Amino acid sequence: MDKSSIKNSLQWLLANYFSSHKQRFFIKKGECLFKKGDANDRLYLVKSGQLNGYVDNPDGSHYARFEASKNMFVGIVSFFSRTYIARANVIAEEDSEVAYITKDEPLVKREGYDSLFDQFMPVVVTDLAFRQQREQQFFLEKEAATKKLLHSEKMASLGQMAAGLAHELNNAIAVLERNTHWMRENINAILQKRYPQEYPFFQYGNEKGRRLSSSEVRAHTKEIMTKFALAKQDAQKLAQTGIPADDLRRFVDIMDVDADIIHYYWDIGATFHDMMIAARHAAHVVRSVKALGAQKHSRQLNLDVNQSLQESLALLGTKVESVTIKQKLAELPPIVANIGELVQIWTNLLKNAIEAMQQAHTPNAQLKIRSSFADGAVNVYIEDNGPGIPKDLQEIIFQPNVTTKAQGLSFGLGLGLSIIEKIVDSYSGTISVKSKPGKTVFKVKLPVGDGYG
């Protein structure tokens, strides 16, 4: 039976069974039509308004099992099961009018429908199906709500734990970071004054760090072995410094210094470089974790988003050296923001992009950073030409515990983007991603406050 014939059946029923003025009355909002367990030998039709059927849950709460609005039936189960005992508490949700028939209702003849049951069946089954659908939806909603609640409870306790951990670690990291810095400055000053000959090697290591990869060191070793006629071990030491062969020649020829000495002073410098990177990284990890349980940071007026982008690039330091960076920054109105939070957003997105390209060994790895102002909002686009994010991952990428990162030190807790989303959200902004192989763009939209829009 199709929809229109169900409609016809309903119209026929309305006209033939529910049009009498005698079997019809009003019920006020909040009034009870019947209670569960009451005797009820009537089938009601809602003429106007709405009635809900409630059942009690075992835990004492109750929920609407069905909602009957205009042209829907109430009392279906008790009437058609012929128990004539009400199955739910039916209450008027608003001022309503109902019509009814009783179990002894005289049959109105209709061609092809011999009994009352035949006549009502299609319409009533449709009503019941509707109720079932509603119940299912209710169940799904409830399940989703429970999941969400569990998740936010989990995040809250994780945040609390993280904040405690971060606090403890912060002191230790601060001591390491500050004192590394202090030592570095002092060793630098002492060497410069007392060991002017060796100082350039320290300085080179201190400024550039370990700039050659292990395979580059091997290639450089071979070059030095032939150019300088040195033993492998000495050549390897010189190669590790990353000092170009021609510069090395100058030192070796003029000053007759040996490889061990050069390497030794260079290594002191490079080690300070490593320690600073590691301390900064540790501080960054702690900051990220802390942001999980964070309260709102103080925000300053007139913050330049472009400047926060530059700070992020500076913070990433040598990490960005492996990719080509192209910037196209528009003139932007100032926004009300916390620079730390913005830097955190950009740093995280940039770092993700760089690491994805490194992991995939993307040739000609490129990062494009764009900013624009449109429709009262500042937009920042961070684009890479890496491998792209698989479709199924794109959908869940802002959820916590989603990570593609394998390396131990790159902190693959999968919290980065969920934290960022939280921050962006606190600015009433949005973050979105579009990705295909060779082109992934993250867009962050931050509305400019009232005073400027």
Q: How far is the CB of 158 from other proteins (least distance, A)?
A: 18
Cβ distance to other proteins smaller for residue 196 or 408: 408
* β-bridge pairing 32-34 and 439-447: unpaired
CA distance 54 to 34: 11
Cβ distance to other proteins smaller for residue 74 or 243: 243
The residue with tokens 């990705």 is 435
CA distances from 60 to 15, 158, 200 (A): 41, 32, 80
Q: How far is the CB of 213 from other proteins (least distance, A)?
A: 6
Cβ distance to other proteins smaller for residue 271 or 418: 271
CA distance 91 to 263: 88
Find the DSSP H helices in 195-231. Answer: 199-208, 214-228
Cβ distance to other proteins smaller for residue 189 or 219: 219
* β-bridge pairing 324-329 and 366-374: parallel
Number of other residues whose CB lies within 10 A of the CB of residue 393 = 13
Q: How far is the CB of 215 from other proteins (least distance, A)?
A: 6
Q: How far is the CB of 305 from other proteins (least distance, A)?
A: 32
Cβ distance to other proteins smaller for residue 337 or 415: 415
Say if residues 74 and 53 touch (Cβ distance below 8 Å).
yes
CA distance 303 to 342: 10
Cβ distance to other proteins smaller for residue 214 or 364: 214
Cβ distance to other proteins smaller for residue 315 or 336: 315
Helix (H) or strand (E) holding 25: strand 24-27
* DSSP summary character for residue 108: P
Cβ distance to other proteins smaller for residue 307 or 358: 358
Q: What is the dihedral of CA 69, 74, 76, 79, to 10 degrees?
A: -160
CA distance 403 to 413: 7
Cβ distance to other proteins smaller for residue 302 or 407: 407
Say if residues 318 and 207 touch (Cβ distance below 8 Å).
no
Say if residues 36 and 88 touch (Cβ distance below 8 Å).
yes
Sorted by sequence, the CB contacts under 8 Å of residue 177 that are 6+ apart come out as 276, 279, 280, 282, 283
Q: How far is the CB of 407 from other proteins (least distance, A)?
A: 6
Give the residues lining the site for other proteins (CB under 8 A): 210, 213-215, 217-218, 232-233, 236, 267, 270-271, 274, 277-278, 358-359, 406-409
Q: How far is the CB of 340 from other proteins (least distance, A)?
A: 26
Instruction: Identify which of 29, 270, 5, 252 has the alpha carbon closest to the alpha carbon of residue 123.
Output: 5
Q: How far is the CB of 164 from other proteins (least distance, A)?
A: 22
Q: How far is the CB of 444 from other proteins (least distance, A)?
A: 27
Instruction: Identify which of 264, 253, 275 has the alpha carbon closest to the alpha carbon of residue 195.
Output: 264
* DSSP summary character for residue 390: -
Q: How far is the CB of 232 from other proteins (least distance, A)?
A: 7
Enter the tokens of residue 424: 């962006």
Cβ distance to other proteins smaller for residue 81 or 407: 407
Q: How far is the CB of 68 from other proteins (least distance, A)?
A: 56
